[in-house]
Amino acid sequence: MGLSLRDLTRRSGVSAPMLSQVERGETSPTLAVAEKIAAGLELTLSQLLRLDEGQHVAVSRAARRRRYERGGHRFEELTPPLPGQRADVSLHNLKPGAATGGPDDPPMHEPGSRETAVVLTGELALVVDGTRYELHAGDAVTFDADLPHHFENEGAEPTRFVAVIAAGLRRS
């Protein structure tokens, strides 16, 4: 999901110090606080507490996926929100002239995150920390996702790509 502590505080209504203590195992939340944290993570309390671990397979049905659209950028999350998940997979569609963000947007992934993108159709430009990389159908790229970055479609045709974000893996 790639939320920062600040994001989860805003979404859950639980204070940053409390979330930090829970994350480090220094305190156990009350059920009321755990329920707020679960809601902020878009999980049920059972998922957060891993009470439903009898299921080892999570199917993400096309009709039920979380979808977002901003300008000419449409994307859907292919991975369901699961506790302890360290990677998210998403499918992106960019109309000609559209971008996933802008050069002044701050990084939106946690420190140490890596992202891999695979271009399915069309042409795609990746701009990471001011450097531009041109990609074509079939190309893949991996980069440090905690740096400022965005994708652009400057072609005449729509572009589709898959992105995988692995959270907090890089140790440098």
Ranked by mean pLDDT, the top range of 2-16, 33-47, 102-116, 124-138 is: 124-138
Question: Which token pair is 57?
Answer: 């397979």
Query: What does CATH list as the number for 62-166?
Result: 2.60.120.10
Q: Which residues contact 148 (CB under 8 A, 6 or more apart)?
A: 103, 105, 106, 107, 128, 129, 130
pLDDT at position 141 is 98
Q: Write down the H helix ranges in 15-168.
A: 16-23, 31-40, 45-48
pLDDT at position 99 is 95
Residue 42 phi, psi (nearest 5): 60, 40
User: In which residue are the tokens 């001011």 written?
Assistant: 130
Q: Could you state, in order of their start, the residue ranges of all structural domains in the chain? A: 5-48, 62-166
* Of the listed ranges 31-40, 94-103, 136-145, the one predicted with least confidence: 31-40
Residue 88 predicted with pLDDT over 80? yes
pLDDT averaged over the chain?
86
Residue 29: exposure state from Cβ atoms within 10 A (0-12, 13-18, ≥19)? middle
pLDDT at position 110 is 79
pLDDT digits (tens, 9 = 90+) for 18-73: 888 888 788 888 889 888 988 888 777 777 776 555 567 788 888 888 899 998 99
pLDDT digits (tens, 9 = 90+) for 156-169: 999 999 999 988 65
Report d(CA 89, CA 117) in Å as an integer.
Answer: 10
Question: Which token pair is 5?
Answer: 């502590």
Report d(CA 122, CA 161) in Å as an integer.
Answer: 9
